[in-house]
Each structure stands twice: as C-alpha cells, then as structure tokens.
C-alpha cells in the first residue's frame, strides 16, 4: 500500500467488534484508545518490523518519518539530502531538565536498495536497540536511562512524526510504500519477528508467538471506510489520520 504525502495513518484505537452483526467493523464510534500502543516503547523487550519501499518520484519533506511518535520525535527517519535511513530517539539525561539525542543508521543499506521492498526491524532488549535489514543485524546502539516521557501519550503514526505540530519541520511528512508492519512484545529474538512475517493467512493463529503480537498489518484487508484490519487478536486497526489533525 502507498502512504501518500500528508495522508498519514495512525495506530490509535482498539475496536469493539462484538456490537456488530457478523463482526462488521463499519462505524467510527465503537473504539477506545489503545493503552498498550501508548506505553509499549518503555517495555524491556519488543520488535517493530516493517517492509517498505521508497521511490525517488515520491514526495517527502527534507526529513521524513516512516513511522514514529511525536514529542521530541522518535522513529525511523529518511534524510533526503544524506540518503540515510535511521532510527532516532530521545532518552533522559543524568542531569535534570536535559535530554540526550540518540541516532543509529541502518548500516549497509544504500539509497538504491530502497527502490525495492526492504524489511527493517528495531528490537529492544534492555538498554540496547538492535537494527536489522532483512532480518540480519545492521547496527546496535546502547543508551542510558530510559526514553523520555513524551512517547507515552499518543498512538503511533505511519507517514509522519507529528502531523499537527505548529513547527513545520517537526511534522516529517513522507510518501512511501508499505507492505507489512508489526509489533511483537516480550521478545528481542529476530527469529520470532521473521517467523511472524513469513506466516501467512490463517496459519498465523497457530504461530507460537501469535499471542505476543500487539498489531500486524499486511494491508490486504481494508473495510468500506478505509480501515486496515489488524491480523493480531487485538483489533488495533490502522486508520487514516483525519484531515483536521494534519497540517
């Protein structure tokens, strides 16, 4: 699926399907905030995986965020000038009222590699993030303390960092193709993420780590109002951000 410029999506709401005949997820009223999406980044272990493609003809801000959260932004970014794909985040510093900026590029990934689908993953284990390209280690970064508090108050955005920011350069809008997105909790074993990625259709339910999937989108199942179905058990559907929240 193509995420268009200034048409980002968010993982924001958990849907209640029980109120609908035959589980037809068709309205915008039967949903609540996903508390796990707000807080999972602070957990000791998890893996985020996405299969993406960035074409030169697509429109992007000078720096765009493929997926992330607002505040002092966290997420996977692409710099149009340096042609570097990276993971950026902020952590608490030892000195009060100061924060530390952290940056790790996806090493070995050239600009031309992004012209075709590439699988990228970020795995946390304690105070280390490991970056993967096609399920092979690309880079590691260790950090002190924990993430700043900014990231526990909102959902997760795809196609931007903060679409409503009054500061234009903090919005990080970008256009790209996405074929898979998933979050798995309670593990940093990349073999688990690879197994989940490779398991298709109804077989996914039989995957031993199925219960640990916070959300999973293969972008094949979209309902009549453009909601992208969550293949996990949680009904954490992916929705286009309403226009009134996009600047």
User: What is the secondary structure of 10-68 as a DSSP string?
Assistant: EE-EEE--TTSGGG----SSSEEE-HHHHHGGGSSEEEEEEEEE--TTS-B-SEEEEEE
Secondary structure (3-state) at 196: helix
Task: Specify the CATH number of the domain 2-245.
Answer: 2.60.120.200
> H/E element holding 182?
strand 176-185
Specify the DSSP class assigned to residue 229: P
Tens digit of each residue's pLDDT (9 = 90 or more) over 172-223? 999 999 999 999 999 999 999 999 999 988 899 999 999 999 999 998 877 7
pLDDT band at 19 (very low <50, low <70, confident <90, very high): low
Question: Tell me: the pLDDT tens digits for 128-171?
Answer: 999 999 999 999 999 988 999 999 999 999 999 999 999 999 99
Global pTM?
0.93
Place of tokens 């999972």: 40
Q: Give the residue extent of every domain in the chain.
A: 2-245
DSSP 99-163: EEEEEEE-TT--GGGGGS-EEEEEEEETTEEEEEETTEEEEEEE-SS-B-GGGGSS-EEES-S-T
Q: Are strands 45-53 and 176-185 parallel, antiparallel or unpaired?
A: antiparallel
- Local structure of residue 242 (DSSP, 8 states): P
pLDDT tens-digit readout, 56-102? 999 999 999 999 999 899 999 999 999 999 999 999 998 877 899 99
Is residue 113 within 8 Å of 136, Cβ to Cβ? no
pLDDT of the residue at 94? 84
């Amino acid at each position: 699926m193509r995420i268009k410029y200034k048409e980002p999506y968010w993982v924001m709401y958990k849907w209640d399907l029980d109120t609908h005949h035959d589980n037809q997820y068709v309205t915008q009223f039967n949903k609540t905030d996903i508390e796990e999406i707000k807080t999972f980044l602070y957990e000791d272990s998890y893996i985020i995986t996405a299969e993406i493609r960035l074409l030169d003809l697509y429109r992007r801000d000078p720096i765009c965020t493929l997926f992330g959260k607002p505040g002092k932004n966290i997420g996977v970014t692409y710099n149009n000038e340096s042609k570097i794909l990276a993971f950026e985040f902020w952590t608490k510093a030892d000195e009060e009222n100061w924060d530390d900026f952290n940056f790790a590029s996806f090493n070995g990934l050239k600009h031309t590699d992004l012209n075709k689908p590439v699988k990228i993953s970020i795995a946390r284990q304690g105070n280390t993030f490991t970056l993967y390209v096609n399920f092979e280690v690309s880079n590691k970064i260790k950090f002190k303390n924990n993430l700043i508090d900014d990231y526990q108050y909102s959902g997760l955005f795809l196609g931007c960092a903060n679409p409503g920011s009054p500061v234009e350069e903090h919005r990080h809008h970008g256009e790209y193709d996405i074929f898979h997105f998933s979050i798995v909790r309670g593990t940093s074993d990349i073999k688990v993420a690879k197994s989940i990625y490779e398991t298709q259709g109804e077989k996914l339910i039989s995957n031993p780590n199925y219960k640990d999937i916070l959300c999973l989108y293969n972008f094949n199942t979209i309902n009549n109002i453009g909601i992208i179905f969550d293949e996990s058990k949680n009904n954490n559907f992916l929705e286009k951000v309403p226009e009134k929240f996009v600047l």
